[in-house]
Amino acid sequence: MAYLIRNARLITAADDATGDLLIEGEQIAAVGRNLPERIGPQLRPEILDADGLWAMPGGIDVHTHLELYSWDTVSADDFYTGQVAALFGGTTAHIDFANQARGQTLREALDAWHARAEGKAIIDYGFHVSITDPTDAVLHEMGQLPAWGVSSVKLFLAYKGVYQLSDGDFFRVCRRAAELGLLPIVHAETGDVIDILVREAIAAGHTEPIWHARTRPPECEAEATHRAIRLAEMAGAPIYIVHLTQREALQAVAHAQQRGTRAFAETCIQYLYWTIDDLARPDFEGAKFVCSPPFRTRDDSAALWRGLADGTLAVVATDHCPFNFATQKTLGRERFDKIPNGVPAIEDRLLLLFSDGVMQERLTPSQFVALTATNPAKLFGLYPRKGALAPGSDADVVLWDPTVRHVRSARTHHMNVDYNLWEGVEVQGKPVKVFSRGRLLVDGDDFRGEPGTGRYLYRGRSAAFAASSR
């Protein structure tokens, strides 16, 4: 198929101008003003009048957990339902996490996650590999990751006894990653302290959801963020902090950037909205807001918005990891530490960030594209194949109506979960057509995707390695 999109407001991380976009097959063939209908000996394109619409690179969500078995249950979206929801929210690619279990090889972990996506995926996806058991053999095996299309490794300073690495192991893995051109990405909270606080809270009979946040104080994130950055510096590696939530952690990243360290950070859309008070909602409703790190304060959210605007934060992701309120969050009704950690957001990310970021003039349209598509593509080795509107790039394109108002609700969202964090919230702007590799998969309310047509993304080296010190 070929499509000629006429008179769209074409928005990229660098430019914002009205023009045409020609899609031929899976790629963008041309971008410009008054494009002829044919560039080469191709099919006559279907003409789409995009007057009043914005055309942007499809969103890339670099932090998702589809079909994740954890907390004695499984996250509610699999690679089919989660990707349908992603598409309706304007996201056309994502990177999930293949978690190494203790004793497992990295290849075994990766194979297990490939099996989950196989036959289900609609859009393109990649994997970070989480290294939880860095034996000498595993450090050696890391050398295979680039050939397997993996250019980032996830490391944990939290979840003691499960995923958490010692400082020494963290340092060893970062040093090996630097050698191989792999970007270390880190969950930064002080696991040892959290472990003690959780046990003490339970022993004292504190079982309600609010204690999830009270036992993971902001100091833990500030401390571990600073420590992760310093350990990576000593290892000669760049570093990417996932789901950053609060002021002091943000300052640690800013300070690192000022002294020339290649430190990058993402926040997730939900941290711009919710606070610790939401975990105190009555009738166990607070459990809907349990995720790690926990929600903080209004001041922290305001700091994150500033960090997005001033460039300290490079990416807005989701950490999408949905659990049904009625049947899964209730596993922790008797004690907060059994509540499955995670929230649904894969469909909401662009909608909320556009409405409250771009429409409220906190972010320019180009910043919006940079944060949701272009920076993720660059940092995770997908640029300019993804995250760009340029000839030769994959035709992952969103046609967006910036005027339409609609209300977020679990009754109408596409995520396979029984609640929406933004239930009843009105937003402005939504995708009206979503293309993935040239295929029109979302057309208004219609969905045209076929399971099994999404492709695994062999990712190249992160631009974090090219970034010069400032």
Nearest Cα neighbor of 429 from 459, 406, 458, 462 is 406
Smallest distance from Zn ion to CB 188, Å: 12
Nearest Cα neighbor of 187 from 213, 159, 162 is 159
> Of 266 and 319, which CB lies nearer to Zn ion in the complex structure?
319
> Of 319 and 347, which CB lies nearer to Zn ion in the complex structure?
319
Binding segment toward Zn ion, per CB under 5 A, in 115-123, 227-235, 314-322, 456-464: 314-322
Q: Judge contact between 271 and 295, C-beta under 8 A.
A: yes
- Residues 115 and 34: their CA atoms lie apart, in Å, by 45
> Of 186 and 250, which CB lies nearer to Zn ion in the complex structure?
186
> Of 174 and 321, which CB lies nearer to Zn ion in the complex structure?
321
Helix (H) or strand (E) holding 433: strand 426-436
> Of 223 and 319, which CB lies nearer to Zn ion in the complex structure?
319
Give the binding-site size for Zn ion (rule: CB under 5 A): 1
Binding segment toward Zn ion, per CB under 5 A, in 20-28, 42-50, 252-260, 313-321: 313-321
Smallest distance from Zn ion to CB 65, Å: 6
Smallest distance from Zn ion to CB 350, Å: 19
Nearest Cα neighbor of 94 from 133, 120, 132 is 120
Nearest Cα neighbor of 264 from 309, 225, 306, 217 is 225
Which residue has tokens 């970062």?
174
> Of 185 and 353, which CB lies nearer to Zn ion in the complex structure?
185
> Of 319 and 348, which CB lies nearer to Zn ion in the complex structure?
319
What six digits make up the tokens of 368? Answer: 């919006």
Binding segment toward Zn ion, per CB under 5 A, in 20-28, 43-51, 178-186, 316-324: 316-324
Strands laid side by side in the 59-64 sheet: 59-64, 91-99, 124-130, 152-156, 183-187, 239-241, 263-268, 315-317
Neighbours of 225 (CB within 10 A): 29
- Residues 221 and 244: their CA atoms lie apart, in Å, by 8
- Residues 188 and 165: their CA atoms lie apart, in Å, by 11
Smallest distance from Zn ion to CB 94, Å: 12
Q: What residues pair up with 405 in beta bridges, in sequence order?
A: 428
Binding segment toward Zn ion, per CB under 5 A, in 26-34, 69-77, 201-209, 311-319: 311-319
Binding segment toward Zn ion, per CB under 5 A, in 118-126, 169-177, 304-312, 317-325: 317-325
Q: Judge contact between 132 and 166, C-beta under 8 A.
A: no
Smallest distance from Zn ion to CB 63, Å: 6
> Of 54 and 264, which CB lies nearer to Zn ion in the complex structure?
264
Q: Judge contact between 248 and 69, C-beta under 8 A.
A: no
Smallest distance from Zn ion to CB 428, Å: 29
Binding segment toward Zn ion, per CB under 5 A, in 188-196, 272-280, 286-294, 312-320: 312-320
Smallest distance from Zn ion to CB 244, Å: 12
300 binds Zn ion (CB under 5 A): no
> Of 159 and 435, which CB lies nearer to Zn ion in the complex structure?
159
Smallest distance from Zn ion to CB 340, Å: 13
Nearest Cα neighbor of 85 from 320, 260, 263, 292 is 320
Smallest distance from Zn ion to CB 177, Å: 19
Binding segment toward Zn ion, per CB under 5 A, in 42-50, 174-182, 216-224, 319-327: 319-327
Q: What letter represents residue 323's amino acid?
A: F
Report how far apart, in Å, the C-alpha atoms of 168 and of each of 231, 232, 403 are.
9, 11, 52
- Residues 335 and 201: their CA atoms lie apart, in Å, by 10
> Of 185 and 370, which CB lies nearer to Zn ion in the complex structure?
185
Smallest distance from Zn ion to CB 318, Å: 9
Which residue has tokens 């957990």?
65
Please list every residue from 120 through 159 that binds Zn ion, using CB under 5 A: none
Among 61, 124, 319, 347, binds Zn ion (CB under 5 A): 319
- Cα dihedral 253, 259, 264, 268, rounded to 10, equals 20
Question: Residue with CB nearest Zn ion?
Answer: 319
Judged by the rule CB under 5 A, the positions of this chain that interact with Zn ion are 319
